[in-house]
Chains A and B, each alone.
Chain A
């Protein structure tokens, strides 16, 4: 399977064939061309593995990865698979593995660079059994990825052809990441996971879709929190793959460092508006920024709630969404409390995010039998250029602009 079995419809990035969400051949091609292709995938926060030997297991696409802290402080990413019989090597979500990764199946041992260092009974016993004399340990290491960090976040790639990570993220979107994360020391405040019954791309598109936010998430409009009339815009990288949307709640200007609170109280309905008590943490009045890096990483700032979202395909029609809630080591007590309270807004039970858990599944269910049809992505025109408003699907088109050439959908 070298090329997609069907052509992209006329209309370029304004039309998306439903088949890309259902076709198992497309899914197989994505494994090779997107997730093992010249892209970078988010793996973990560097601060999650602070000490030598600390590891965390995760996925690059559907491939199991173990990320490990070396003795010299560097970070390695290895495919979490033993070179002998293919078993998982690291079995826990995270832990410390000392100076070696050892497969439990036959105790083959690897150093933290993935080099094979020990094969039990390699010479046999009393001249019997054992590996052939010519067996070369050097040829049988764990597969090592390129790994790099940006703003304290570790990414990996299978591809030698991928540009350096900073280039993949780009200056425009990199700057928006730095705005939130800077070089402050990250602290994981919690993790959670959500199983979505839809193709992974439907969720990624959802995060890039600024048009839906105040319409689907009626918590916003019911309680008068975020409206498309608020000032905002979308930054889209030149190739379209990465984006950062932002909005400023206009009503906040006279409230000093507290934003959002008044509209909540003046609005109606909520008896306790404390979930909207927030600090203008970054000094620019931006209340919401949603950022994505191709193919499947999302950084969210909703008031003071900062979270990473990793969109992991699990077959063609299922996705696991991993949330990592962040704070900073230097957060004061009040900030910790704000982040804890505001976490009610997001995640699988979040007031303004729970709908995103089901809407992709509704698309997945509705397109059965309509695989020859296309979805329409024309809000705001046909371009994927940055815009100064959010009534646009520019960043959704950007995703397809990046996706199509990688996949051979010309």
Chain B
């Protein structure tokens, strides 16, 4: 089934909002882009290819995403840093009524408070998008990092 232009634009808007709520440090809005029963996972390409389940982050509902934000705000200690997301075009792999499976590439540049700027992570977003009455949401976002290596730590979601 071909995705109509309206759905496609709404989905692209979701992706843009995803990048901007993170990059603009509005993390509290980040979980709102997911369904209640969502899956958000960050895993290296190596583990993904070997079908090893454990990666860096594994949240299997929206409450866990909210907890992550709470923890980053109130508990965890890390140096001030920002991200800049660069997103690729989206390949729609499958679309049927209210759900789509799509894949896109990302780069995340990390900017430290001293100005140090580095390509922090790149990889693929494997998404399952659910089209709800309120618009499209992430039912699944699996972040497959090209590298298994993380510089210092991964605090802010990718």
Query: B-contacting residues of A (Cβ < 8 Å)?
Result: 93, 188-197, 216, 218-219, 222-223, 269-272, 274-275, 320, 325, 336, 339-341, 343-344, 347-349, 351, 354-355, 357-358, 361
Contact = CB atoms under 8 A, between A and B. Distances in A.
A216 B63 contact: no
Given A216-B77, A344-B59, A194 B150 contact: yes
A52 B61 CA distance: 42
Nearest to B157: A349
A191 B153 contact: no
B79 A195 contact: no
6 contacts: A192-B56, A222-B74, A341-B60, A344-B57, A355-B77, A355-B78
Interface string B63-101: 110110011001111110000000000000000000000
Given A325-B54, A341-B58, A191 B46 contact: yes
A222 B153 CA distance: 20
B33 to A, nearest CB: 17
B42 interface: yes
Of listed A196, A351, A354, residue having the most chain B CB within 10 A: A354
Describe A's contact surface by its main secondary structure: mixed
Contacts of B60: 341
Interface in B115-151: 148-151
A272 B149 contact: no
B76 A354 contact: yes
A197 B57 contact: no
Given A219-B76, A354-B155, A195 B54 contact: no
Given A340-B58, A354-B76, 4 more contacts: A219-B75, A340-B54, A341-B58, A355-B153
A357 B152 contact: yes
A347 to B, nearest CB: 6
A223 B58 contact: no
**Most B-side CB within 10 Å, residue of A194, A218, A325:** A194
A203 B42 CA distance: 24
Interface size class of B (residues with CB under 8 A): 35 or more
Nearest to B57: A349
A348 B150 CA distance: 7
A336 B52 CA distance: 11
Given A348-B150, A354-B154, A271 B67 contact: yes
Contacts of B64: 271-272, 274-275, 344
Given A222-B75, A325-B54, A348-B56, A270 B150 contact: no
Contacts of B151: 194-195
B154 A349 contact: yes
A218 B152 contact: no
Contacts of B78: 354-355, 358
A343 B43 CA distance: 12
Contacts of A358: 77-79, 152-153
Nearest to B43: A190
B57 A357 contact: no
A194 B152 contact: yes
Given A222-B74, A223-B75, A357 B153 contact: yes
B53 interface: yes
Given A222-B75, A340-B53, A195 B63 contact: no
B53 A272 contact: no
B60 to A, nearest CB: 8
